[in-house]
Structure formats: structure tokens, C-alpha cells
Amino acid sequence: MRTGLHDPRQFLLELFQIAVHAADPHQVLPPCLPVDTGRSALVIGAGKAAAAMASALEKNWTGALSGLVVTPYGHSEPCQHIEVLEAAHPIPDTQGEQAATRILELVSNLSAADLVICLLSGGGSALLSLPAPGITLADKRDINQQLLQSGATIAEINCVRKHLSRIKGGRLARACWPAQLITYAISDVPGDHPAVIASGPTVADATRSAEALALLQRYAIKVGPNILDWLENPGSETLQAHDPALAHAQFHLIATAGQSLQAAARAARDAGVEVVLLGNNVEGEARAVARAHAAIALARHHGAPALPPCLILSGGETTVTVTGKGRGGRNTEFLLSLAIELAGTPGIYALAADTDGIDGAQDNAGAVLTPTSWQRARHLGLDATAMLADNDSYSFFAAVDDLLVTGPTRTNVNDFRAVLVFPGQ
């Protein structure tokens, strides 16, 4: 690492960069490609890393390539043979619907001699938005918005999405049949389950339409009768295991949050820091997760000064139940709650950011918290508790100039949370 512990803020920023680099498509895709790259292949895909994955594939594939991938606005990367389209995320738009339609058209009427390479990463669910019969894009946009604000987990959200789609839940694999299908995926979901990543368009799905209906009821999602009718229709069921359409399909997971956290942990240990790794699949309300991290940090902080610095690392995807009218994503919400718990305790620093460079729907990846953040906020007269209640964490960190703005990283292995503790300070 370039920076030692004399600059804790920069130390945390470099750890974040190491975690992101460990999931860079140009680093992780080439080693996973087959030995024979001389075949012609049709390339399809969707996600925040889709354009970078397509670019990496072009640089390492010797055969002819053609096809189409879709990525969020601002996440493109130049490709020579694979078309890159941009669409909206996390709320789908007509561009995503058109991209999904075109992808289905590209894979129709293939033969067993054809090869399809599918490149998936987080964000694919919103980007491949092709509503089921009788459902409109407006319906899906409304349901998606309600789910994102409800506190539902990503697996629950994607369960609903799959059963309201013509392309998710294995249906894309069905459209590719009988061609050989190879999927390369970068996971942004806790547990790295293939059926949850981008809502599993090329793999079997164990959920049922009845589960999707139950989730809509549990989170009080308002839907029209057309949604209820469809979920009671057998056609809404996704592809189950052993479906013949999956017989020629392979799935390869090429990057995960766990790999990125381990890369950051190794760098921290090399710098003489003890690492407490809480796991790469931490879920729950961002505020509750922050309180748990704060308790560990404060316990370590009260230890003897002779103890080495400690780094608390975690990944996964927290949730935010939106009740206020402020701005913010789950990472700044985590940090604002953490700031309230720590109240400027000296010797504790933290960074929380989404590895895709976008925290929720904002223009920041997350933020950095230092002991002086709390002091600056008090000097400005900010009421942290009131701002947290209003889900206005973005405004808090913008005011104290602690937002972390990276721009799109063109990868996505979920959230990165790091709390650095100097005991006895």
C-alpha cells in the first residue's frame, strides 16, 4: 500500500480501491475463459459491469464476436464488436425494455452448434426489464420503487421481479436453447446465489409465484388486479431445476464480495493491522448494522494502548426503510448511524461505500467518517439524529465534505464497510 497508518483516511480509501480492483472484469474474466477461444460467439449481458466484461472478453477472445449488452447510464466502456446500450437503474426505463427485447430476438432460432456467452452483474434486474404478458413497464416501475423503499432484501425484490418478467428466472436460457450457453457472473448479492444475481435469467429458480405474491402482501406493496391475476397464472412460474432448457447451460461465478474483502484484509494485515472480518453477506437495516459495528469498535477502542490497530470489515447489502424525505443511500445511512453511536470518539475512522461507485440513486459511492466529522457537524449546527430520521444522510456528509465520489467503477460486488480502530486513543 502507498500509505501507512499515519493517514487513516487515506488508508481506508486505499483498502476500498484494493477491494474494487479485486473485482475488476479485466482482472477476473480472462482466467475463467475456456482454453479454446477461437469459436464464434454471440454475446449478451446486463449489469453495471457488463460493458467492462464485454471489453475484457473482446481483448481475450480470438474468435468472432457479436451481440449486445446493456449497462446503466454512464457505465459504458468502448467495444469494437459487441454493442453496448445504456438504460436506467435502479428504476427501469424504456431503453432497458427495448434492450431486453432485442436480446431475446438475438438468441431466437439458434442451433446446437451455436455458442452464447452471457455476461451478468449487479443491476441486471432493472436493466433487463421485459414485463410478462398483461403487465406494463409502468407497473414494474411502480412495484420496483415501492419494493426499494420497503426494506425488502435484494433476494426478496428479485423474487418478485422474476415472476413478473419474460426474461428473468431462467427464461433467457429457455430462449437460447438448444445453443450452448456460458454465463459469467460477478455477484452483488449476499450468499452469491446464481438465481438472485440479476434475477437469474440463465439459471434454475427455486422460488414460486405464491412466494412473490406473499412478499407483495408482507411489504404492503400496492398492485393492480392484473398483477394478482398473473401471479395466479401457471405461466408466471420460473424455470425449475432439471428443466431441459438448461441442459446445455454453464454458470461461472468470477468475482464475489468475499474475494474483495479478503484482498483488503490481506493488505491491512500486511500493514500490521488486526482484521475482524464479519462476513461478506451482512444484511439487515443499515442503522442496526451500524449499531453492531459501533459496539465492536468501542469495545476494541477501550482496550489497552499496546494492542495493535484493528480493522472491522464487512460486506453484503443492508436495507433502508424509507420514511423520510431526505437524500441518501444505504452506505451513508450506515455511516450516519455509526457517527451518532460513536459521537466523535477519537481514534475511530470508517468508510462505507458501494463497490459500483453509486450509493443508492445518488452521485456518491458512500462516505468517510473521521473523529472530526462529528465536530464539524456540530460546528455547523447539524442535527444528526433528525437527519437520520429524515433519511438525509447524503446531506449530512455533503455538509462536512466527507462524501466519497468515485464515479462508476464498472464492477459491483456489493457494499464495502471498514471501521479502523486505534485502541486507547
List the pLDDT tens digit at each of the 425 positions of the chain. 556 789 999 999 999 999 999 999 999 999 999 999 999 999 999 999 999 999 999 999 999 999 999 999 999 999 999 999 999 999 999 999 999 999 999 999 999 999 999 999 999 999 999 999 999 999 999 999 999 899 899 899 999 999 999 999 999 999 999 999 999 999 999 899 999 999 999 999 999 999 999 999 999 999 999 999 999 999 999 999 999 999 999 999 999 999 999 999 999 999 999 999 999 999 999 999 999 999 999 999 988 777 899 999 999 999 999 999 999 999 999 999 999 999 999 999 999 999 999 998 899 999 999 999 999 999 999 999 999 999 999 999 999 999 999 999 999 999 999 999 999 77
The predicted pLDDT at position 425 comes to 75
Coil, strand or helix at 55: helix
Q: Which residue has the cell 446486463?
A: 46
Query: With 0-12 CB in 10 A as exposed, 13-18 as middle and 19+ as buried, what is 262?
Result: middle
Alpha helices in 149-254 (DSSP H): 154-163, 171-176, 209-218, 225-231
Q: Tell if the pTM clears 0.85, that is, is over it.
A: yes
The predicted pLDDT at position 2 comes to 58
Give residues with Cβ within 8 angstroms of 9, minimum separation 6: 349, 368, 370
Rounded (5°) CA angle 28-249-67: 65
Burial 34-46 (b: 16+ CB within 10 A, else e): eeeeebebbbbbb
The predicted pLDDT at position 3 comes to 61
Provide the 10 A C-beta neighbour count for residue 63: 11
The predicted pLDDT at position 1 comes to 59
What structural domains and CATH numbers belong to the chain? 8-20+258-421 (3.40.1480.10), 24-255 (3.40.50.10180)
Query: With 0-12 CB in 10 A as exposed, 13-18 as middle and 19+ as buried, what is 91?
Result: middle
